[in-house]
Structure 1
Amino acid sequence: MSAYVEFKNVKKTYRTGEVEIHALSDVSFEINKGEFCVIVGASGAGKTTILNILGGMDTLTSGSVFLDGTEISALNKKMLTAYRRYDVGFVFQFYNLVQNLTALENVELAAQICRDPLDAEKILGQVGLSERMSNFPAQLSGGEQQRVAIARALAKNPKLLLCDEPTGALDYETGKAVLKLLQDTCRKSGMTVVVITHNQALTPMADRIITVKNGTVSAVRMNDNIVDIADIEW
């Protein structure tokens, strides 16, 4: 059985004038379906570049990337747009909500662009916002806005949920609640979730931990003793 996500010898080079910047060099790893994977590394290590390539937001210089048997790295621009639309859910550090739409409308917006969406009201209930559906982003706390952003990503019913420092703008307790939501979503729905973070303390909550250093994968390990995020402190 082949892995759900596969990176094979991926290189990414940026050129600025005469200068070449090697963001990734020879990155290889696999993630299985339904896993909660944490990609951890210092700022500038290359983890966001990995996420952007996996999410179809950036292209690679050489190598290949697969999701569920499809070679993402071989898709043209139009196909990549469809891939981002249908197959991937994104959660970023900043919530990117449409300010003049309610929480419900923000989630419905995502549901409108995909093939097999989940019910927006139901998803908002699952993330604990059934009482806040008609509120606008400005009327919500940071943690609530991030929950709307997660609900919006989940409503697309994606094959893969990619989270880039999802608690970076949140306080400690709110951040933990958001991570618990992501961990529970993975466990209950069987969705494949990838979280990138600089915070080493989060690694015990993952099935698979991929450590990135200076544009390469320095370690991949499976976690036999998964810890609930409620029991992790940092």
Structure 2
Amino acid sequence: MSYVVLENVVKHYKMGEVTVKAVDGVSFQIEKGEFAVIVGPSGAGKSTILNILGGMDTCDSGRVIVNNEEISTYNSKRLTAYRRYDIGFVFQFYNLINTLTALENVELANQICKNPLDAAQVLAEVGLKDRQNNFPSQLSGGEQQRVSIARALAKNPKLLLCDEPTGALDYTTGKLILSLLQKTCRSKGMTVIVITHNQAITPMADRVIKLKSGKVSDIIVNPNPTPVERIEW
């Protein structure tokens, strides 16, 4: 079985008298170690799917399977453990604690998981060996995002979920961050899912899942992903 499987997943939200179908019968699969991009315009259902995959939300119907575990049957206690031990999150905004150094921010993740990686070593891997004692206010946006990626990687997660990870960054820094995520996926054999509205980055992915109005409009498997450095947008 594929590493990530969604089968006919539905999620509705009530907004006053109106019911909004955020996700309307979505099915797709992602293989272990793939770099997958879920792309679509605002309101397509991308964040809802990411939240369901990350155990931050539940679906109304359908099945969600990660690493042969049907997480859509989990109660809240099991979902908490799943979020804590199995998932790494990288968001558009870095969510760093300003009173802690880069190293201390990464070490936070190590306190809540079972088999953490060494925080200093992970910071070195993301290119911040000489910045680990700096506070977030002393770091650029790209460096802060590297710290947040290091924090996610230090958990040694089975699945890395990235929600518009370059949304707050300039073009050049954004490319560096995407390159770092692509290389992390390759070197660690980690399954990485990036959600974005930016169609231009899809050539870097092994698998592209296109969403429109809560449905999958297309799935593209790319046998020869393009290195980020060669992509322009």
DSSP 3-state at the match of 2:131: coil
Q: Deviations over 1:105-134 (max 9, x none)?
A: 000000110000000000000000000000
Residues 33-52 of structure 1 aligned to structure 2 (within 5 Å): 33-52=32-51
Do structure 1's residue 158 and structure 2's residue 157 form an aligned pair? yes
Matched with 1:68 is: 67
Aligned to 1:22: 21
Which letter maps to 1:5? V
Runs (4+) of structure 1 exceeding 6 A deviation are none
For residue 116 of structure 2, what is the aligned residue in structure 1? 117
Query: Unaligned regions of 5+ residues in structure 1, if any?
Result: none
Which stretch of structure 1 is more off in the superposition, 11-20 or 28-37?
A: 11-20
| CA apart distance, 1:19 | 1.2
Matched residues in 2 for 1:202 and 1:185: separation?
17
* Structural mapping, 1:35-184, within 5 Å: 35-184=34-183
* Secondary structure of the structure 2 residue equivalent to 1:99: coil
Task: Give the Cα separation in 2 of the matches to 1:198 and 1:18.
Answer: 29
Which residue number corresponds to residue 205 of structure 2?
206
Distance 1:112 1:122 in 2: 16
Q: CA deviation at 1:15?
A: 1.1
Distance 1:41 1:220 in 2: 12
The one-letter code sitting in structure 2 at the alignment partner of 1:78 is K
Q: CA deviation at 1:224?
A: 1.9
TM-score, normalised with respect to structure 1: 0.99
Aligned-residue offset at 1:80: 0.6
CA–CA separation in structure 2 for the residues paired with 1:33 and 1:222: 14
In percent, how many aligned pairs have the same letter? 68
Residue equivalent to 1:11: 10
User: Equivalent residue of 2:51, what SS?
Assistant: helix
Q: SS at the partner of 1:85?
A: helix
Relative to the length of structure 2, the TM-score reads 0.99
The 2-side partners of 1:64 and 1:224 are apart by 27
Letter in 2 for 1:128: G
CA distance in 1, matches of 2:15, 2:169: 34
Shift of 1:16: 2.3
Question: 2-side partners of 1:39 and 1:99: how far apart?
Answer: 31
Other structure's SS at 2:113 match:
coil
- The total of aligned residue pairs comes to 233
1:225 is displaced (CA, Å) by 2.4
In the alignment, the residues of structure 2 paired with residue 86 and residue 116 of structure 1 have an alpha-carbon distance, to the nearest angstrom, of: 9
**Mapped partners of 1:226, 1:134: distance in 2:** 36
DSSP 3-state at the match of 1:33: coil
Question: Alignment RMSD, CA only?
Answer: 0.5
Deviation at 1:226, TM superposition (A): 1.0
Give the deviation of 1:18 after TM superposition: 2.1
Amino acid of the structure 1 residue aligned with 2:195: I
Q: Give the whole-Å Cα distance in 2 for the aligned partners of 1:140 and 1:225.
A: 35
